[in-house]
Amino acid sequence: MKVLITGGAGFIGHNLARYLLAQPEIDGVRVIDDLSTGNRANLDGIDVEFVEASILDYPALVEAARGTEAIVHLAAIPSVPRSVANPRASHDANATGTLNVLEAAREAGVGYVAVASSSSVYGSNPTLPKSEYAWTRPMSPYAVSKLATESYAIAYQFSYGLKTLAFRFFNVYGPGQVAGHAYAAVIPKFLDAALSDRPLEIQGDGTQSRDFTYVDTLCSVIHQAVVGQIASTDPVNLAFGTRTSLLELIELLESQLGRELPRVHTDPRVGDVKASQADSTRLRELFPDVVQVPLEEGTARTIAWFEEGSAR
């Protein structure tokens, strides 16, 4: 089986490419990425076929899809604050880009598409844990664009018989996730600050909670989905029902690093969700064999990757 990964030069994308190529069912991986948020160096040493192009370049996307049997659609402009700063760019990449991917799949004869949605679609719904059958109320343009992403994927299953699966990613972390930009995720941002002897910036009071998912666990689920051509007419949370506050995360990092980490509090982010926790019932039904990497183990691996990078 040959797989196309959109956004394959990004954090999740290059980890997925490496993971898939280690599996016996996968004959090859092709990556399409315009490198606007990804990095070509992420794919160094990974035997992929690389296409430098945007998913908004429809002819290039169709050509990249030809000869593949499945598409994993990760390409997006990530980040809530980035979407608040530039909502049109997020819509174009995330909503229109997804439409292009699904149309390219149809035109190129690709039978299966898995897409990355986000827990941000739950927005102001206060219910915990978050069930896929609960109502959604996006609080940012990014969340709206991700609701469009999953809605298009599901609609194409009903309208055209295309096998699709929309995963709602929660807070994915792990090796390869960098912190050197304004929209960095919280774990690499904290680790970069800690290893550079800077205070950890906490936006808000730190009691906001997240359901962290280690990247290899996510890759394992996507691998099973692609190989098994697992489809669903409902979105599926890709997280395991954990709930860790930022203050608890910092305590864990302090324990693993063996020292106290200074902190500074700033204003909460606009459009940020206070609490996030997945109901993993549907995930367990579809992927009963998946084994979650615990947060303690995942952060230890991530710290080791950061320390290795800083030692070079």
As annotated, the active-site residues are 142
CB atoms < 10 A from the CB of 44, how many? 8
How many CA atoms within 13 Å lie on the side-chain side of 38? 29
Please answer whether residues 28 and 97 qualify as being in contact, where contact means their C-beta atoms are separated by less than 8 angstroms.
no
Residues in the chain: 312
- 3-state SS, the chain, equals CEEEEECCCCHHHHHHHHHHHCCCCCCEEEEEECCCCCCHHHHCCCCCEEEECCCCCHHHHHHHHCCCCEEEECCCCCCHHHHHHCHHHHHHHHHHHHHHHHHHHHHHCCCEEEEEEEHHHHCCCCCCCECCCCCCCCCCHHHHHHHHHHHHHHHHHHHHCCEEEEEEECEEECCCCCCCCCCCCHHHHHHHHHHCCCCEEEECCCCCEECEEEHHHHHHHHHHHHHHCCCCCCCEEECCCCCEEHHHHHHHHHHHHCCCCCEEEECCCCCCCCECCECCHHHHHHCCCCCCCCHHHHHHHHHHHHHHHHHC
**C-alpha distances out from residue 155 to 71, 102, 148, 159, Å:** 17, 10, 10, 6
CB atoms < 10 A from the CB of 283, how many? 22
Whole-angstrom Cα distance, residue 127 to residue 105? 36
